[in-house]
Structure 1
Amino acid sequence: MTTIDFTTFVEQLASVSGETILPFFRTSLGIDDKGEHGHFDPVTAADRAAEQAMRSLIKRSFPEHGIIGEEFGNERADAEYVWVLDPIDGTKSFISGMPVWGTLVALTRFGEPVFGMMHQPFMQEMFSGDGGAARYRGPGGRRNLRVRPCASLADAILFTTSPLLMNETDRATFMSVEKSVKLSRYGGDCYAYCMLAAGHIDLVIETELKPYDILPLIPIITGAGGIVTSWDGGPAANGGRVIAAGDKRVHEAAMKRLSV
């Protein structure tokens, strides 16, 4: 599969998922809770319909490829090429009528992400990357994405979806970083990582991520010149505790505090 075929097909996935999701947004939705132990984890008909639409298109176009999806599990997960799907990353924002959510798609080869996309159909924005470059397409046109330099934590803007999603130990560790930055903001889900790739923020720190939450974002961040790892400096592809930074100096400084 050539790069041009790949890019065209990902845009088709974005189109079919967006057309499926938008009729549900800011409507009266039935919401199911798939969370456990008192943790609210909503899922809607929009999540399920969008993943089904993307799965159908993948199976028709590349029947030999595998699929890993948030809502419908794994098919041929040991294939050379595997598509990783999160139909609505930020479902809590989605059901609240807030536009900070997106459809995440990754393509992995032998388990490594080789392409990632975040698509926000309501705002008509798409962020994509292949690890070597990252791109934006939106109402303002098209451009390459690039992280911005940031010399220290004292100069950094930090995002996390919510410290309440962290356990007490991780929350305390996170707060040791938060106290050192110029500005800390909550919310954003996948959007925060894309804003990092676009050079608007400097640091994202999260916990409890699943592979489909982060795999599509890794090629975007690294393609824009950023770095994304686990809290202990290892690969972030398996999710869990993740740190993303636009500047290696900020990444190193935050890592020192996270590893304490």
Structure 2
Amino acid sequence: MDQFNSKYYQIYANFLNKLAKDLTKFYYKKLDKPFKISNKLKGKGYDPVTTSDKAFEKFIRSKISKKFPTHQIIGEEYGHKNTKSKFSWVIDPIDGTRSYVVGNPSWSNLISLNYNGEPFLGLANFPKMKKYYLNTSKNSAYVFENNKKRKLKVNTRVNFANAKLAAAFHNTLSLKQQSKISKFIKRMQFPCFDALTYCQLAEGRLELVAQCANKIWDIHPIMPIVRASGAIVTTWDNKNPVLGGNIIVSNNITNHKKVLKLLKPVSK
């Protein structure tokens, strides 16, 4: 299989590093004002999209297209720009639109660079929190805040008994299904704040995160960041999370296996 050449990391990491700063400036200059909300599900549920989601995605697409015109782009709001390139960018213009709507600061801009469909670089930018998370290689990821950067590293030493677990089902597990994983539910100590919770695990602030119903643009930008920090990320049935779905991220393999076992009754 054709492999991603490590020499590309610096080129694209530099691009994403600048893009993070540009996105925050764009938000405060153009979008920090009242916005319109519509519901994608139109009475069959609630999946909000705002005029800001669309503006962010247009901005991101324009930056990518200008710098890398031959690359593919896959965005939540404007679909797939299909080319013959092995490089593709996956965009969630606002991860956590519900948070954005009610004024919580935990929403973010998520972008990944994929090669042959696999994410190699990820950016999670939090304009309201004025910080962003970015991996610069396979084994190095950082949080950038207050003009400083701090290397991300999970706390691998914390065992399962002491591990802090955050989880969210996003209305996809029925009460009957939840009754089958009561031991797991008893361990749910913290709520999930969209992509921020995955990033907090990469910082070593908690050890286990489990979420349901991740789309590719929710998880692709996160995968390279948490892996570079030393974390393990799979689906609930222990498969490659590249197609999205129900996701587990853990601080070490022992804890990962224990969570997989607890979730096994609902993992198929």
Whether TM exceeds 0.5 here: the answer is yes
2:112 to 106, 109, 120: 106
Letter in 2 for 1:250: N
1:7-26 to 2 correspondence within 5 Å? Answer: 7-22=13-28, 23-25=30-32
SS in 2 for 1:237: helix
Q: Give how far 1:20 is off.
A: 2.9
Confirm whether residue 155 of structure 1 aligns to residue 162 of structure 2.
yes
1:102 and 1:120 in contact (8 A); partners too: yes
Letter in 2 for 1:73: G
2:86 is aligned to 80
Q: Give how far 1:153 is off.
A: 3.2
SS in 2 for 1:204: strand
Q: 1:241 to 1:215 in 2, by over 3 A?
A: same
Aligned identity (percent) is: 30
2:251 is aligned to 246
1:215-230 to 2 correspondence within 5 Å? Answer: 215-230=220-235
Out of 109-118 and 123-132, give the one that drifted further.
Answer: 123-132
Confirm whether residue 4 of structure 1 aligns to residue 29 of structure 2.
no
2:148 is aligned to 141
Matched residues in 2 for 1:174 and 1:16: separation? 43
Matched residues in 1 for 2:254 and 2:185: separation? 16
Confirm whether residue 195 of structure 1 aligns to residue 195 of structure 2.
no
**Cα-Cα RMSD:** 2.0
2:139 is aligned to 132
1:158 and 1:178 in contact (8 A); partners too: no
Gaps of 5+ in 1: none
TM-score of the aligned structures, taking structure 2 as reference length: 0.89
Letter in 1 for 2:93: P
2:218 to 213, 221, 227: 213
Gaps of 5+ in 2: 1-6
Q: 1:100 to 1:240 in 2, by over 3 A?
A: same
2:131 and 2:146 in contact (8 A); partners too: yes
Matched residues in 1 for 2:11 and 2:54: separation? 26
Q: Give how far 1:78 is off.
A: 5.6
TM-score of the aligned structures, taking structure 1 as reference length: 0.91
SS in 1 for 2:16: helix
Q: Per-residue displacement from partner, 1:39-70 (whole Å, max 9, x unpaired)?
A: 21111111101110110111111111000001
Q: 1:107 to 1:205 in 2, by over 3 A?
A: same
Matched residues in 1 for 2:21 and 2:244: separation? 27
Matched residues in 1 for 2:140 and 2:124: separation? 15
Q: Per-residue displacement from partner, 1:154-179 (whole Å, max 9, x unpaired)?
A: 3121112x435222155445543131
Matched residues in 1 for 2:183 and 2:84: separation? 40
1:151 and 1:249 in contact (8 A); partners too: no
Matched residues in 1 for 2:62 and 2:120: separation? 21
Out of 127-136 and 246-255, give the one that drifted further.
Answer: 127-136
1:21 and 1:49 in contact (8 A); partners too: no
2:123 and 2:132 in contact (8 A); partners too: yes
Q: How many residues align?
A: 256
2:237 to 226, 232, 240: 232
